[in-house]
Chain A
Amino acid sequence: MRRLRPYAIPYLLWMGIFILIPTIILIILGFSNLELYNLGVFDLTLVNFRIFIQDQVINALLNSLIYSVITTVICFIIGYPVAYYLSTLPEKKRKILLAMMIVPLWSNMLLRIIAWEKIFQPTSIINDLFGISIDLLGTPTGVLIGMIAMYLPFMIFPIFSVLEKMDYKLIEAAKDLGASDYQTFIKVTFPLSSGGVVSGVIMTMLPAMTSFVLPARIGLGKINLIGNIIESKFMKEVLGSSGASINQGALISLLLMIFSVISFVLITRVDKEGETLI
């Protein structure tokens, strides 16, 4: 097999091009006046940091933190019992139920968001068909329900995959040694599933924190997250509209990358080879 090692080298190069280089550029962009479409001489400056005193940006940062934490906590409270319940089912039932949870993810994300948008209108198709009127468009509750529905599976899958592989002899041993159900869960089951919990928390929190279509559509643009700011700073530059500043966008992206790196270090600790990630 040794002879096959060279096959890994191009991958390292490929990842270098698409991960390392853009990270370096983002750092330079954030701390200078470099123009992405007019590369050349640049001056280092801290002027881009001014973006952090804009109310709009401070609000978006706070919103990102609040919405992603609430979403993650609720997803965990709902998701852990679900993962646990699924893992106790007989094999056939378990497989079918798990497949049923994956299936909806094959539906277009944007259309799923639009579906929630339709549901949350006071005069909606749901109202017409079932007589239920839900008026949540433009409210924090609406955005949160949308986020929870969207990211819940990403909490359940990793926890389930750890619980499913767990050695049940350990639980029996704990009970034989006199532990109550509660003690067994706290001292054996939960610690053994902590790797899945860490992956689940990260896979829920990061996408929730950076989502921009969901808050824009369901929040009617009233609730901005960090993703909305990044979008406006970056995409408008590409599309050539006003109000864009790729340097400020880069600075906010770097802030986001700090979260990413922390998550990454945590995930690497519990699951080096990424087995809970798929």
Chain B
Amino acid sequence: MMKKSVKKKSLKFIGLFFTVLSYLLIFTPIVVIFILSVNASTKGYSWEGFTLKWYVELFENDVMNEPIMNTLLVAVSSTVIATVLGTAFAIGINALEKKRRVQMMVINNVPVVNPDIVTGISLMIVFSLLSFTLGYYTVLIAHVFFSIPYVILSVMPRLKKLDPNLYEAGLDLGCSRISGVFKVIIPNISTGILSGALMAFTMSIDDFIITYFTSGAEYMNVSTWLYATLSRGRSFTPAAYAYNIIIFTITIAIILFVNLKRDRKEKTV
């Protein structure tokens, strides 16, 4: 008995130890980014006192303005498009017979499993075949492309739980095919749609690799701008760290808000 409980304790200790180690590894860069965002030094090799000037500079610095606007514009528009298309596709896929549905979900997983670099190259090839000029529109299409599978993956479980008879009942009660979707299906899968949209947004705003391969030399988002600056052997303004902390905080706030609201809703239902 004694031996067993000691063994169990040591197992638990290993779990706890690795858990602490993991959080340490995962959080270290975030903490460093935060420190650099409030550090008065431009180069970031030493601590030169607390400052919020980089947060102010973020709104005054013209260099970062364009990449930030590009990032936000692509994130918002690709999220909207991917959420609408992904939801429609998911509804269609869910309506298929089981074998076809599984086949479609397997296809859906291709961009999820594929390394970003392969997805980036593939998209670049298609754009050059269509002789599209690389820039805002190609990046937008690319972001819609990699976001849709995640929207479908988060909408699907909700759709599966939905009783198909509900939709038929809606049709019997006089809904058209489209209005039935809006009145019966969408309200029942709204939480899945929302989490899909959040996922699409967070992935678009931080994307580097796929944007890098589909944006050409002129158009830049924050990530590709950072990379281009570093590749030229220059250093960038610490306002970039401030930008990251702001985006990071806003994302956490949105997700926290959505989750709290959902929990409350589920409690009252």
Q: Which residues of A contact B (CB under 8 A)?
A: 1-12, 14-15, 17-19, 21-23, 25-26, 36-37, 39, 78-79, 81-82, 84-86, 88, 97, 100-101, 103-116, 118-119, 121, 123-126, 128-129, 145, 148-149, 152-153, 156, 181, 202-203, 206-207, 209-210, 212-213, 217, 227, 230-231, 234-235, 238-239, 249, 253, 256-257, 260, 263-264, 267-268, 272-275, 277-278
Contacts and interface: CB of A to CB of B under 8 A. Distances in A.
The 5 A-B pairs at the shortest CB distance, nearest first, are namely A7-B92, A85-B15, A8-B92, A22-B122, A115-B29
Nearest to A36: B128
A156 B4 contact: no
Given A109-B206, A125-B46, A206 B26 contact: no
Given A2-B95, A128-B47, 15 more contacts: A1-B167, A11-B89, A18-B111, A21-B126, A22-B121, A26-B125, A106-B247, A107-B29, A124-B45, A125-B41, A149-B29, A210-B118, A234-B121, A267-B109, A278-B150
B123 A152 contact: no
A11 B86 CA distance: 9
Contacts of A274: 105, 108-109, 112, 149, 153
B113 A128 contact: no
A118 B37 CA distance: 13
27 contacts: A1-B95, A3-B95, A5-B95, A12-B107, A21-B125, A25-B125, A25-B129, A84-B15, A104-B26, A104-B29, A106-B206, A107-B33, A108-B206, A108-B247, A109-B206, A109-B223, A110-B208, A125-B39, A125-B41, A126-B32, A129-B47, A235-B212, A238-B124, A253-B121, A264-B109, A272-B102, A275-B157
B258 interface: no
B123 A18 contact: yes
A104 B126 CA distance: 33
B39 A256 contact: no
B115 A37 contact: no
B118 A256 contact: yes
Given A4-B95, A85-B18, A106 B251 contact: yes
Contacts of B156: 273
A5 B105 contact: no
Interface in B65-120: 85, 88-89, 91-96, 102, 104-118
Contacts of A156: 22
Given A104-B29, A115-B29, A1 B168 contact: yes
B173 interface: no
B36 A118 contact: yes
Contact of B117 (A110, A123, A256, A273): A256
Interface in B215-243: 216-217, 222-223, 226-227, 230, 240-241
Nearest to A113: B29
B27 interface: yes
